[in-house]
Chain A
Amino acid sequence: MNDKKPGKYVISRGLDQFFIGVSDAYRFTTRFFKELFKPPFYFRETVNQCFEIGLKALPLISVTGFIIGLVFTKQSRPSLEDFGATSWLPSLMGIAILRALGPLVTSLISAGKVGSSIGAELGSMKVTEQIDAMEVSAINPFKYLVVTRVLASLVTIPLLTFYCIVVGLLGSYVNVNMEEATGFIAYFKGAFSSIGFLDIITSLVKSLFFGFTIAIVGCYKGYNATSGTRGVGRAANQAVVLSMFLIFLEEMLIVQVVNWIRYF
């Protein structure tokens, strides 16, 4: 909201708006946690949203997960071949897919598919006054629209991440099997050999963070959409850009923290 005249800015127009945006987003996020525990609870709508989110992202995640598993294995082989260490491939890929590729690929695809559609849907509800219409009929739109979507995303994105990891490992297995004729059991024994409990927990935590980010950013951008159909497009677009940026930031921070725990 550009309320101010030039000359009235605290720092400058851009920076002022940036800090106003940050504080708005912060308030939006804290409102989520406040409303989360207050009745009524829209369980049915949350389940609907789980299906909505899951089914939207599933096809693309299947394809991408498989291809990335396959291609990464293929591309990693030459550098291991130099040392005659291609038998390490399964365990290498196991770590790579579980620790990094699975959560990242899932969340980036979901940011594109799910985040943008939440942004567009809520944005168009906002500009056509459907959100106001809920409010005047004594329905809390924040609970009904935002809380349900964020919860659904918190459930669905970790499940999708797990699914993506499995599909990615299958892709990797197909490549290893073609090149070295490694059997299914042998491959997965190798893949799981160096995966620890901490790795699994880390991936879960990451995917929870990513899922939360995707949904809350989409909802925030949609809820604050302005000025007609252009505003809706902008909300969808900004939802994707901002959530991808935050996902990378979170990835970096979580990896730092986990490394610190690992070697402490």
Chain B
Amino acid sequence: MTEDRKLDQDVMREPVIEIKGLYKSFGDLEVLKGVDFNLQKGQNIAVLGKSGTGKSVLIKIIVGLLKPDRGSVNVLGKEVNQLNAKELDALRLRVGFSFQNSALYDSMNVFQNLSFPLTMNFKKLSKAEVKDEVMDALEAVGLADKAKQMPAGLSGGQRKRIGIARTLILKPEIMLYDEPTSGLDPVTCTEINELIVEMQERYHTSAIVITHDLTCAKTTSQKVAMLIDGSFTKSENFEDLFDIEHPQIKSFYNYNFTK
């Protein structure tokens, strides 16, 4: 399976995200200092990095939630900073964003959480169509029986999966997963990893998977990039990354493989 996916990815060498010389600071805190990054069509890249290095900031810039100080961010052929509100919305429908803490709407039940983005964006859908789409997405994440529940009554892993389903329901071409497995038990982690792989295979999405977990990175992604001190390490393959002599890379490696 892994072989096939590697082949696929060589065929489709068409960038969906291209970032050049990206800088972002908050007041005196310089978070991103010259980030260069490329994501090819059909490819998943795992982004590693210690917490607080700006991984979330990076993907928030990609969807235009945060404005960069300078640098170019090109997503699906569109320069994100130069879009007007309408164009940005059109782009956002093509890019799925799964939040670190799921960000489910707590005033709505699971079904409404999923139907909300659908009905708000596609007013012409009939009730039955919406219901079908929602139940399909819930089945895809294995939680069809939870449709009537409120988010407050779900476990962390279930919330994450609902969050992912809510993103997938808009059929995005790119998925941005912000720490999809952090804080979960190993069994649930594996389930989520499988879900990410399945989504890539079923919908041919490209994805950025932010994670601390090398197993997650290796199962879900073909390439890896590590964010250190505001920019990415040169290497993009798992093998090469750990040849680099850098204390942060070493401690990542040691933490994940000498437990």
Contact = CB atoms under 8 A, between A and B. Distances in A.
Interface of A: 1-5, 40, 121, 124-125, 128-130, 132-133, 135-140, 144
Given A129-B99, A132-B99, A133-B99, A139 B105 contact: no
A137 B27 contact: no
Residue among B89, B100, B121, B123 with max Cβ neighbours from chain A (10 Å):
B89
Given A4-B27, A130-B103, A136 B97 contact: yes
Main secondary structure of the interface of A (DSSP, over half): loop
Interface of B: 26-28, 60, 63, 65, 85, 89-90, 92-93, 95, 97, 99-101, 103-107, 116-117, 120-121, 123, 166-167, 170
Nearest to B95: A136
A129 B99 CA distance: 8
A138 B103 contact: no
A138 B92 contact: yes
Contact of B101 (A129, A138, A144): A129
A136 B65 contact: yes
A140 B116 CA distance: 12
B105 A130 contact: yes
A133 B166 CA distance: 10
A46 to B, nearest CB: 15
24 contacts: A3-B27, A5-B28, A121-B107, A125-B105, A129-B100, A130-B104, A132-B65, A132-B99, A133-B97, A133-B104, A135-B65, A135-B92, A136-B65, A136-B92, A136-B95, A137-B92, A137-B166, A137-B170, A138-B89, A138-B90, A138-B92, A138-B117, A138-B121, A140-B89
A140 B101 CA distance: 21
B106 A137 contact: no
Given A3-B26, A3-B27, A5-B28, A139 B120 contact: yes
Contacts of A139: 116-117, 120-121
A1 B28 CA distance: 12
A125 B90 CA distance: 23
Contact of B93 (A1, A4, A138): A138
A128 B85 CA distance: 23
B121 A137 contact: yes
Nearest to B29: A3
A9 to B, nearest CB: 13
B91 to A, nearest CB: 9
A1 B63 CA distance: 22
Contact of B103 (A3, A4, A129, A140): A129
A138 B166 CA distance: 13
B109 to A, nearest CB: 14
Given A128-B101, A132-B99, A135-B92, 12 more contacts: A4-B27, A125-B105, A128-B106, A129-B100, A129-B101, A132-B60, A136-B95, A137-B92, A137-B116, A138-B89, A139-B117, A139-B121
